[in-house]
Amino acid sequence: MTRLTAIILGILIACTGAFAHGRNCATANLFHHKQYNKSPLQASVTRANRADLFSITNCATEAYYNKVLSKKTEHFHIFYTLEGPHATKKEFVDSVAVNLERAYTMHTKDLGMHKPIGPTKTHHYNKDVDKGLYAVEIIELDLIRDASRIFNRQTCEGCFGLTLPVHDEYYIEDTDTTQLFIDNDFKYISPSTGKRKSMDDNPECTYIESSIPLTQQATGDDFSKNWNSAIRITSFHELYHASQLTYLNMYNYWTIWFEASATGVEEIGAPEVNDYFGYINNYLKNKKIIGVPLNAISDTFTYGVSPLYLYLYNNINKKFDHEIWEGFEKNPEKSLDQQLSSYLKKRKLDGDSVFHDFAVRLSFSGDRSKAIDSKKWLHKDEKDWNSLEYNMSPTFTPDTSRFMFDYYAGSQPDITNYKGDVSAVVYRDGKAKIIPVKTTNTADSIYSTRSKVDSIVWVFSRFGESDFVETIVTNTKLRAYPTPWREGSLCFTPLPRDKDYVEIRNRRGAIVMHEKYQGTLLCIEENKVREKMAPGVYWFRAGNSGKAEKFMIVY
């Protein structure tokens, strides 16, 4: 295997707001190659990509830098230039040095993570690295050596930094040896609109100048001007990837925890920047993603799972994550929920209870944080996140998939077959009260108060092998409600478990509806009731035998 193949197989990139800014993350691209059993090398080495690279530059990589300078700190050997497209400023380099050392201290001492392992020669400038120091290159990331093959497209399309597995022996069996790159000006190249420039000492060598500034996702602030903030989040995020990769081969064993935890660490290390808001807000407002098991969510949303890291950091142990990564190192086949379950069991903590507490606290994001004491917030920034968008349905049956959480509002849940944990958050006069739901009777009782409160939010979660919610029937007589029916859903309960449909007849005895059900509750939506039943008296029963009960439709 060539060194280039090794680079392609091992690349790990932290992109800027991939979806918020309309750009794609190369990590996701690479992961898709793995999913579809395509060789990244075969997918990358095409005439189209070579043509793309030529459209940005027309000379060898070495033609775009001359004098390479370096700065050494206690743990890092930083390489940079002050000329050409890769040019940066000495103040920029000084900031990189300071922030990388801060990140190194936090990662290795405060969080207990492995020290990053670097190569003896850098990838882009081809410079020797002092023994014991970790290599960092400050470059125009879109012009990195082997750019088209690494990114599988023309440019990185807006990356702050990059953590690249590299090996001196030109083979990659693990991804533990890595190098860190930081963009030189936090601007990126647009091949279609960028201005073409030439090298002063070699006019024949031209390149497209980086001109589009990277911006803060939530505020739109220009990071090419406020570059110290961008350096801070890049240092904490990317260097954490370097530590992660000493535990687990990202390409062979992808997990959402690579980006989710690195984004959480970014917030802990640089809490004043808050660029991570964009990732979280995109996750919270997407109703198609909320309710999907975390192990199965799209890789572009993994950054938005960072609240789980923040919850565990704030409420369990600040050094918890190094044990999660040690678990991946020992058992790389195990999923994140299995690793987390093992960690919690060692501390005699119930995984379902911990995960449900996380789900409940997450429900107070944004404006809803005002309804509860700040001590119960998931994280101090929760008030500044988007408000979580809940599902709205007259009646619903919650999913029982593992490692998932979901939310419903303004609805009546059928939890007779629900396996997991449930809480109701009842809002009244601007205040919220959290009520654990242990039985179906509790849920019915809470729902019956809906006209007296502002709103009810149902929080569902299942972490592992949860129990079913206990079914308690206080009134065994079959009944329809509300009766007389005027609006909303028409419901029937408690239905026998040995039947599976409800038969509804009009006063002449003709069947007007034949509705399937599961559990002990059936609710029919308002539109269907109005379509099938005119005002009048009706009779219903479970199945096709037994005593029928009367109800009335009025509208």
Give the C-alpha distances (Å, rounded to integers) separating 118 from 121, 234, 239, 329, 365.
9, 18, 11, 19, 40
Closest CA to 234 of 70, 11, 14: 14
- If phi > 0 it is left, if psi is from -120 to 50 it is alpha, else beta; for residue 84 that is left
Q: Which of these three, 240, 255, 270, is where a domain ends?
A: 255
| 344 found inside a domain | no
More confident residue, 158 or 433: 433
Alpha carbons 83 and 366: distance in angstroms, whole number: 45
More confident residue, 480 or 264: 264
- Give 33-43 pLDDT, tens digit per residue: 344 333 332 22
Strand 455-462 versus strand 404-409 pairing type: antiparallel
**pLDDT over 50 (residue 485):** yes
| Cα gap 541→546, rounded to integer Å | 7
Domain for residue 66, yes or no? yes
If you average pLDDT over residues 533-538, what whole number do you get? 95
* Domain boundary, last residue among 213, 229, 255: 255
Q: What is the pLDDT of residues 4-21, one digit of tens each?
A: 333 333 444 444 332 222
Place of tokens 């988007």: 386
Q: How confident is the model at residue 473 (pLDDT cuts 50, 70, 90)?
A: low
CB 158 within 8 A of CB 26: no
pLDDT tens readout for residues 53-67: 568 999 999 999 999
CA 378 to chain centre: 16
Instruction: Quick: pLDDT tens for 393-419.
Output: 777 889 899 999 999 997 888 888 899
Quote the pLDDT of residue 363.
97
| pLDDT score of 476 | 64
d(CA 304, CA 306) in angstroms, rounded, equals: 5
pLDDT in tens, 335-363: 999 999 999 999 999 999 999 999 999 99
**What are the structure tokens assigned to 347, written together?**
């501390």
Q: What is the pLDDT of residue 39?
A: 32
- Domain-located, residue 128: yes
Q: Which domain holds residue 124?
A: 3-255
Cα separation of 160 and 187, whole Å?
A: 9
Provide the pLDDT confidence category of residue 90 given band limits of 50, 70 and 90. Answer: very high
Strand order in the sheet with 159-165: 12-15, 159-165, 178-183, 134-139, 76-80, 69-72
Question: How many domains would you assign to the chain?
Answer: 2
Whether pLDDT at 474 is above 60 = no
In a domain, 514, yes or no: yes
Query: What is the rounded end-to-end Cα distance, in angstroms, of the chain?
Result: 75
pLDDT in tens, 416-431: 889 999 999 999 999 9
Residue type (1 letter), 17: G
What is the value of pTM for the model shown? 0.81
Q: What does the pLDDT look like over 379-394, one tens digit per residue?
A: 999 999 999 989 887 7
pLDDT digits (tens, 9 = 90+) for 134-171: 999 999 999 999 887 777 777 888 899 999 888 655 44
Q: How confident is the model at residue 252 (pLDDT cuts 50, 70, 90)?
A: confident
Closest-CA residue to 159 (of 108, 90, 233, 93) = 233
pLDDT of 94 > 90? The answer is yes
User: Does residue 101 contact residue 72 with C-beta atoms inside 8 Å?
Assistant: no
Q: Residue 500: which CATH number?
A: 2.60.40.3080
Half-sphere exposure of 363 (CA within 13 A, CB side): 30
Answer with the one of 218, 235, 255 that is the final residue of a domain. Answer: 255
Residue 172 lies in a domain: yes
Establish if 287 belongs to a structural domain.
no
For residue 382, the tally of other CB atoms under 10 A from its CB is 21
| Domain-embedded: residue 227 | yes
CA distances from 350 to 298, 357, 462, 521 (A): 27, 11, 12, 30
Radius of gyration of the chain, Cα coordinates, nearest whole angstrom: 29
Question: Which of 260, 263, 179, 182 shows the shortest CA–CA distance to 10?
Answer: 179
| The pLDDT of residue 518 | 77
| Average pLDDT over all residues of the chain | 87
Q: What is the pLDDT of residue 41?
A: 29
Q: Does residue 384 sit within a domain?
A: no
- For 228, residues 6+ apart whose C-beta sits below 8 A from its C-beta are 95
